[in-house]
Amino acid sequence: MKKIITITTLAVATTFGLFAFMAYLVSNDQVLPPEVVPNLIVELAQLPDERPAEIKPVFKNDPPPTPKPMPKTFEPVVETSVIGDYHYDTQGIKIASSAPNLLLGNNTRDNDARPIVRINPKYPTGAAREGIEGWVKLRFDINALGGVTNIEVIDAEPKRVFNQAAKQALKKWKYRAKSEAGETVTQQGLTVQLTFNMEQQS
C-alpha cells in the first residue's frame, strides 16, 4: 500500500513538474524582446519655386511713317500807317509807318510823341490759312510814360477778323512822350491803321 502511495505521489509530482516546465516554456515564448525602432532622419529638401517663364512681348520694328508734305506757308506782310512823314522799315516785313500828325498849338513837331518801339501784329492763323487780307483802324492815347492806352477799334475790313491781333500789337508799342515846358504830358485821340496782307514766300 505504501508503495502505491509513493508511486502515485511521484507520478503527481512528475506530472506537476512537467506542467510547470511547459508553462514556463510557453511564457518565455510569449514574452518577446522589445522591437528596436531605428531612428530615421528625414531631410526635407527645399525645391526651387516653380515660376512660370516670363514671356517677353516681341515688338515688330515698323518703319517710321512717311512724313506728309508740308503745305506751302504764307508769310504775312503787315503794313502800318499813320498820318505824318516819318517812315520805318523792318527786315522781313514791309512796313510803311510814321509818327502821328498832332495838333500841338504853338509847339513844334520835335516835341510830338514818336514811336521808339513798334511790335508787328501776329497774323491770325485762320485768316492766314484762308488767305484773308484786311485792315484795322485804331484810336488810342499815349500816357506821360510813352505807353499806349485806351485802344479802341474805329473801323475794320473785314469786321472782327484782325481786331484782336491789331489791338494786342498796338498795346506793346512805346512812344517818346510829348514834352511841354520840360515835362511829359499825355496825348489823346491818336489814330493808326494796320493793314494785313499775305505774301507767298518762294
Does 25 map to a domain?
no
* CATH code of residue 89: 3.30.2420.10
182 is a domain residue: yes
Contacts of 115 (CB under 8 A, 6+ apart): 88, 97, 99, 173, 174, 175, 176
pLDDT, tens only, 45-78? 565 566 666 666 665 666 667 766 554 544 455 4
Q: Does residue 190 fall inside a structural domain?
A: yes
Query: Does residue 47 sit within a domain?
Result: no
Task: Let me know if residue 16 belongs to a domain.
Answer: no
- Is residue 136 in some structural domain? yes
For residue 111, pLDDT over 90 is answered with no
Q: Does a structural domain hold residue 15?
A: no
Q: How many domains does the chain have?
A: 1
Domain range for 114: 74-200
Looking at the domain assignment, is residue 50 inside a domain?
no
For residue 51, what are the CA distances in angstroms to 48, 54, 57, 59, 80? Answer: 9, 9, 18, 24, 76
More confident residue, 154 or 4: 154
80-103 per-position pLDDT tens digit: 444 333 333 333 333 333 333 322
